[in-house]
C-alpha cells in the first residue's frame, strides 16, 4: 500500500504543480473546479445522499454557482474575496461542530441538511480562494504553489513526527492517529516550506512576519479541514471518501486540508500584502 501511495503521489504532484505554473488562471479555475466537484460528489455521499440523480442535481447547482461568480465578478475579484470570507466563517463553525461530536451523527438528524450546505460552504470558497491567489499579480502562481506546499508539507511533517514522537492524542474520538506532537512537526515543516517558497515568490523582509502568521494559521486550518472530513466519515461509517486514487482513497481525502487552508491563505495574503 505504501508503494502504491508513493507512485500515485509521484504522478499527481507534478501534474498539479505544472498546472499551477503553466496554466492561465481561467483554465486553472476550470481544472480546479472539476477536481473540487469530484470531492463534493464524495462529500454528498458521506452526507447520506445515496440517490445518484439527487447528487447530480446538487453538483450541477454548485457548478452553476461557480459559473455565476465568474460571470458576475467580471475580473474585479471582489466576489472571490467575499467567497473566501464566507469559507472562513464556515470553518469557524466547523471548529465548534468538532466539539459536539454526535451532532448530526444520525442519518435522520436535521443536521443532515447542514452537512449538505457545508459541502458548498467548503468547496466553493476554497475554489474561489484558489482563483484569487493565482490571479493576484505576476507571482500569483508561485503564491498558490506556496499555499498548497505549506499544506502538503504540514501533512507530511505531522505524519512522520506523529509516528516518531506521537504520544498525546489530538482528537481521539474523531481521528485517533493524530497527536499534538504530530501537529508540532507539521507546523515546523509548514513554516520551513512557507519561508522557502515565499523566497521563490519574491517576498521581501518587510512581509516575512505576515507570511509566518499566515502560514501558522493556514497549518491549523488544514488540520481543521482534515478533522472535519474525518468526523463526517465516522458519522457515515466510512474509512475513505472514495476509491478513485490508488492507495489514497478519494479525492476528498486528498483535498480536505486544502479546503480549509486556501481561504485562510488568501485572506492572509490580502491583509499582509505579500
Query: Does the pLDDT of residue 154 top 90, yes or no?
Result: yes
Q: How far apart are CA 162 and CA 183, in angstroms?
A: 8
Task: Provide the residue range defining the domain that includes 37.
Answer: 2-272
pLDDT at 5: 65
Cα 20 to the chain's mean position, in Å?
16
Instruction: State the Cα–Cα distance between residues 223 and 133, nearest whole angstrom.
Output: 20
Domain count, the chain: 1
pLDDT of residue 107 exceeding 90, the answer is: no
Percent of the chain with pLDDT over 70: 95
Grid coordinates of 31:
481544472
Q: Is the pTM of this model over 0.85?
A: yes
CA dist 71 and 52 (Å) reads: 28
- Where do runs of H (alpha helix) occur along 52-200? 52-73, 78-99, 111-134, 140-165, 180-200
Closest CA to 216 of 196, 188, 250: 188
Mean pLDDT computed over every residue of the chain: 92
Amino acid at each position: 500500500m505504501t508503494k502504491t501511495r508513493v507512485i500515485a503521489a509521484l504522478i499527481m504532484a507534478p501534474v498539479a504543480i505544472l498546472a499551477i505554473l503553466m496554466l492561465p488562471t481561467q483554465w486553472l479555475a476550470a481544472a480546479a473546479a472539476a477536481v473540487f466537484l469530484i470531492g463534493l460528489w464524495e462529500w454528498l455521499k458521506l452526507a447520506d445522499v445515496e440517490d445518484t440523480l439527487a447528487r447530480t442535481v446538487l453538483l450541477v447547482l454548485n457548478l452553476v454557482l461557480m459559473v455565476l461568480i465568474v460571470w458576475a465578478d467580471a475580473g474585479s475579484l471582489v466576489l472571490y474575496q467575499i467567497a473566501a470570507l464566507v469559507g472562513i466563517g464556515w470553518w469557524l463553525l466547523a471548529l465548534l461542530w468538532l466539539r459536539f461530536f454526535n451532532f448530526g451523527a444520525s442519518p435522520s438528524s436535521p443536521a443532515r441538511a447542514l452537512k449538505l450546505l457545508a459541502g458548498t460552504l467548503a468547496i466553493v470558497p476554497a475554489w474561489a480562494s484558489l482563483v484569487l491567489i493565482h490571479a493576484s499579480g505576476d507571482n500569483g502562481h508561485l503564491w498558490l504553489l506556496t499555499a498548497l506546499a505549506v499544506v502538503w508539507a504540514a501533512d507530511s511533517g505531522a505524519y512522520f513526527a506523529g509516528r516518531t514522537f506521537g504520544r498525546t492524542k489530538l482528537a481521539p474520538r474523531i481521528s485517533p492517529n493524530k497527536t499534538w506532537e504530530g501537529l508540532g512537526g507539521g507546523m515546523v515543516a509548514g513554516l520551513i516550506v512557507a519561508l522557502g517558497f515565499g523566497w521563490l515568490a519574491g517576498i521581501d523582509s518587510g512581509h516575512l512576519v505576515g507570511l509566518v502568521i499566515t502560514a501558522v494559521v493556514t497549518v491549523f486550518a488544514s488540520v481543521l479541514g482534515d478533522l472535519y472530513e474525518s468526523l463526517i466519515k465516522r458519522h457515515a461509517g466510512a474509512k475513505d471518501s472514495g476509491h478513485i486514487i490508488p492507495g489514497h482513497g478519494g479525492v476528498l481525502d486528498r483535498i480536505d486540508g486544502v479546503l480549509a487552508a486556501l481561504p485562510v491563505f488568501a485572506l492572509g495574503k490580502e491583509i499582509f500584502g505579500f
